[in-house]
Structure formats: structure tokens, C-alpha cells
Amino acid sequence: MQIHSLPKIKKKSKRLGRGPGSGRGKTSGRGHKGVKARSGRLFFIGFAGGNLPYFRRIPKRGFTHLKRRKERWQIVNLKDINEKFNANEEVNPDTLFSKRLIKERSGLVKILGKGNIEKALSFSVHRVSEKAKEKIEKAKGKIECLIP
């Protein structure tokens, strides 16, 4: 038996305020007096029964409205570049985005040295790792960093 083949059982709601014989008459399960016995919401969500509410207990320090956005690096390995690019092609954020190797065209790009490269390509990206730099220069490629 699976969960979708179980019979649909509709639970009856308890009828409140139908006399003393029903078991839920008179106060209708709300007890006697007090804020929870009244109709409508008379207390707010953070109410702690007369104690100082939690959000007023915690310290409030600092101002975080204009927080600087953390730089997100998009990483591309040499093995992926070797598969998608032909010899003497330009490797830059636009071409990497068009070949679906990165997700954001405007983001920062770093080339890592995982895998090998056999083609002479010209790179103009934001960062290149030392290992990748060695492999690109060995394959007679050019590197230009967009960030000094």
C-alpha cells in the first residue's frame, strides 16, 4: 500500500458552543476569562506572557543597511576550456558565458589549472592561478589580467 492509495478520510471539526451535553458548551474550550478567552487577537505575536519579549531582550548594535556585497568568483578549469574552445580563440567572460562555462557575464572569473591545455589561446580574465599560468604559457598562450 502506498500513501496515494490510502482512502481519503475527512476529519469532522468539533462543534463548539452547543450546550453542556456536547462537552464543548458554555466556554467552548477556551477556559474562564483571560486574554485567550476573548474574541479577536488582543496580544501580538512576540508576546511572552508579561515577560520582556525576545526581540527586545537581544542587543541591537551596528548598522547593516549598506553592507558591501561579497565578491563572488566564478571558477573555470583548463580541462573545460580545452574541450569548448578551438585554437587561437579569445577566452574572456563574454565567450565563457556564451559557451555556458560561467553563469554571470558581469562576475569575476578565475582560471584554475585542473586538466591540460593543448591549444594556444589568449586569455583576458580577472585572475589566473600559478599552475594554470604555467600550462597556458607552455601551450604558447597569452594571458591578460583584467584586475591589476
Cross-strand partners of 66: none
Whether residue 124 is predicted with pLDDT greater than 90 in this model: the reply is yes
Is 6 inside a domain boundary? Answer: no
pTM over 0.85: no
Q: Which residues span the domain enclosing 118?
A: 73-145
Domain assignment present for 106: yes
Q: CA 37 to CA 97: how far, in whole Å?
A: 62
Whether the predicted pLDDT of 43 surpasses 80: no
* Residue 18 domain flag: no
- The CATH number linked to 85 is 3.100.10.10
Instruction: Give the pLDDT confidence score for residue 58 in this predicted structure.
Output: 87
Q: Is the pLDDT of residue 110 over 80?
A: yes
84, burial (CB in 10 Å: exposed 0-12, middle 13-18, buried 19+): middle
Does residue 129 lie in a domain region? yes
Give the pLDDT confidence score for residue 84 in this predicted structure: 94
Distances (CA, A) of 145 to 1, 111, 142: 62, 11, 10
For residue range 63-105, what is the model confidence (pLDDT) as tens digits?
Answer: 666 656 677 899 999 999 999 999 999 999 999 999 999 999 8
Give residue 3's pLDDT.
87
Number of domains making up the chain: 1
In the chain, pLDDT over 90 holds for what percent of residues? 51
